[in-house]
């Protein structure tokens, strides 16, 4: 098993990625990684781990503000494109990048290719719930969808919940503005009917306040709505902790209260932090692919690499292929 890591992906690349790679190697002695990026950037770390690291030197980088499809076509020697090519050629089984989400998706779809039967790949994420996690997607790959796309998103999400989270019978929800089958847009109503007739484990519509309750194991929606939900949730969590910090630091009694609650608050922050998730899986392509957050820390990079390894060990692309063809 080998995983390609894009050294140039992320707001603070390459150093943050190199640090995360070192942490991942220390955490998992079975990992073998291929680094894509300039030779001068990767040389020192490869020399430190010669038996577990190798490098594929690249000369181009796709920036966050570039048009994804155009950049993928124009920059064939970029760290993202070369990484996906290595998976496509069988030289690696998975790819991790904290670079441009659109570029990673475009390159993975173009070079790694879609699993047979998949109409559109989706980007998923894990939201923490009271008990575990809920697989939520699409979060940005497909702004406009059809009911049959949503059905495939649900099948892929169910496969992820089973293979990666150990949920034997996932409860699947369709994000909507009401729990009744007659609620929502015409497309949502058609999707509800399609799910009811073709999807084992369909538990009905999920409203916005159901996402974090744990009532569902998988929730699907279109990429436009999903991305708004993701960014709203991230912003809310960030604002909440900022307000808590400001409140606790505003007076001596509150500072003393914060000292008492410090351990519990730290645990809550760690549970809600996207660092623990490591990245968003791109489901539906022929290979394990994880897209990290642009602002990833070394810990997030390490976790993203570990999740990619878990996807490979769980043979997730094959599980998804069987789920779609069943």
Domain count, the chain: 2
SS3 for 292? coil
- 301 and 230 share a domain? no
pTM of structure: 0.91
Residues 87 and 147 in one domain: no
Are both 269 and 293 inside the same structural domain?
no
Quickly count: other Cβ atoms within 10 Å of residue 246's Cβ. Answer: 10
- pLDDT in 10s for each residue of the chain, 326 residues: 799 999 999 999 999 999 999 999 999 999 999 999 999 999 999 999 999 999 999 999 999 999 999 999 999 999 999 999 999 999 999 999 999 999 999 999 999 999 999 999 999 999 998 888 999 999 999 999 999 999 999 999 999 999 999 999 999 999 999 999 999 999 999 999 999 999 999 999 999 999 999 999 999 999 999 999 999 988 888 888 788 788 888 888 888 877 777 777 677 666 667 777 789 999 999 999 999 998 899 999 999 999 999 999 999 999 999 998 87
Same structural domain for residues 271 and 150?
Answer: yes
Are 264 and 188 in the same domain? Answer: yes
Q: Which of 232, 250, 275 is the last residue of a domain?
A: 275
Same domain, 217 and 110: no
Structure tokens at 55: 């490098």
Residues 113 and 185 in one domain: no
108 and 175 assigned to the same domain: no
Q: State the CATH number of the domain containing residue 209.
A: 3.40.718.10
- Whether the CB-CB separation of 262 and 222 falls below 8 Å is answered with no
- Residue 220 lies in domain: 127-275
As a whole number of angstroms, the distance between CA 271 and CA 74 comes to: 40
- pLDDT for 314 equals 96
Pairing of β 122-128 and β 94-97:
unpaired
Residues 318 and 195 in one domain: no
Phi, psi at 33, each rounded to 5°: -125, 150
Q: Identify the pLDDT of residue 35.
A: 98
CA 221: distance to chain centroid?
15
For residues 111 and 155, state if they share a domain.
no
- 259 and 207, same domain (yes or no): yes
Q: How far apart are CA 201 and CA 169, in angstroms?
A: 7
Q: Give the pLDDT confidence score for residue 252 in this predicted structure.
A: 84
Task: Judge residue 100's burial from the number of C-beta atoms within 10 Å of its C-beta, 0-12 exposed, 13-18 middle, 19 or more buried.
Answer: buried
Same domain, 159 and 35: no
Last residue of a domain, one of 233, 257, 275: 275
């Amino acid at each position: 098993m080998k995983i390609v890591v894009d050294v140039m992906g992320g707001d603070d690349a390459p150093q943050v990625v190199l640090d995360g790679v070192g942490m991942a190697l220390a955490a998992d002695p079975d990992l073998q990684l291929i680094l894509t990026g300039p030779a001068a950037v990767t040389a020192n770390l490869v020399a430190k781990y010669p038996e577990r690291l190798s490098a594929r030197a690249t000369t181009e980088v796709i920036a966050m503000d570039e048009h994804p499809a155009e950049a993928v076509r124009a920059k064939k020697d970029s760290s993202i494109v070369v990484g996906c090519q290595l998976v496509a050629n069988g030289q690696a089984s998975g790819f991790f990048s904290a670079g441009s989400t659109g570029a990673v998706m475009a390159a993975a779809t173009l070079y790694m290719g879609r699993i047979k039967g998949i109409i559109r790949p989706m980007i998923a994420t894990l939201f923490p719930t009271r008990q575990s996690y809920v697989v939520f997607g699409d979060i940005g790959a497909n702004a406009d969808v059809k009911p049959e796309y949503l059905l495939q998103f649900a099948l892929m999400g169910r496969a992820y919940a089973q293979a990666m989270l150990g949920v034997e019978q996932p409860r699947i929800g369709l994000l909507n503005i009401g729990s009744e089958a007659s609620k929502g847009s015409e497309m949502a109503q058609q999707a509800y009917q399609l799910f009811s007739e073709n999807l084992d484990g369909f538990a009905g519509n999920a409203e916005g306040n159901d996402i974090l309750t744990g009532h569902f194991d998988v929730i699907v929606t279109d990429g436009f709505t999903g991305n708004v939900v993701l960014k709203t949730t991230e912003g809310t969590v960030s604002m909440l902790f900022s307000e808590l910090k400001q409140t606790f630091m505003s007076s001596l009694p509150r500072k003393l209260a914060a000292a008492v609650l410090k351990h519990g608050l730290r645990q809550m922050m760690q549970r809600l932090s996207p660092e623990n998730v490591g990245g968003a899986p791109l489901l539906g392509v022929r290979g394990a692919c994880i897209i990290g957050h642009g602002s990833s820390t070394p810990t997030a990079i390490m976790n993203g690499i570990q999740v990619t390894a878990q996807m490979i060990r769980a043979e997730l692309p094959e599980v998804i292929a069987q789920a779609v063809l069943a």
